[in-house]
Amino acid sequence: MAEQSSNTVWHHATVTRQRRESQNGHKAVVVWFTGLSGAGKSTLAHAVEEQLHQQGCRTVVLDGDNVRHGLCGDLGFSETDRSENLRRIGETSKLLVEAGVITLTAFISPTQADRQRVRSLMPHGNFLEIYCDCSVAVCESRDVKGLYAKARAGEITNFTGISAPYEPPKGANLTLHTGEESLQQSVSRVIELLQQRGIIPAKNSVTHSG
């Protein structure tokens, strides 16, 4: 989206991202969970956040349903609105990373183009794409809201996996088989990735001065 005003200037704060990260004792990053509805994205994001919080990390989870109650409450589910939804999430995530926060997002984000657009907003290495690979059959079996049944009955249109396509990531930083492995196994693999990338110390605790 083009900037609407030419009279705006980005303000550079004296408290920089680097100073915030130093105070936190860890680096900031966007951890982007993508996959079908019911693949376990939100459950996993919150479970990872719980472990990081216990280690003293500063975190936030941006969840699809929650975001649509406020920031994106004016958007529907057309292809255009879904792209705008993710654009807003991307810009919000960028601000949170600048604030030194580990930002965990849980969105279907079905297209390569939209995910790449969000990645391009971040400095190199600050966007970790995690693919929650789970079959439609397993996702349907977990569907407590009955969304898949409604989609198959034609009551919901543009439903990813049924009446709208999902494009699996071609170069995800991590692929989790969430229909087969346990939640704790998936959490451990995400934590290990963050340690390998130097986002958090490779220890069971994080020290910080804040």
Active-site residue list: 109
Mind spelling out the 3-state secondary structure of the chain?
CCCCCCCCCCCCCCCCHHHHHHHHCCCCEEEEEECCCCCCHHHHHHHHHHHHHHCCCCEEEEEHHHHCCCCCCCCCCCHHHHHHHHHHHHHHHHHHHHCCCEEEEECCCCCHHHHHHHHHHCCCCCEEEEEECCCHHHHHHCCCCCHHHHHHCCCCCCCECCCECCCCCCCCCEEECCCCCCHHHHHHHHHHHHHHCCCCCCCCCCCCCC
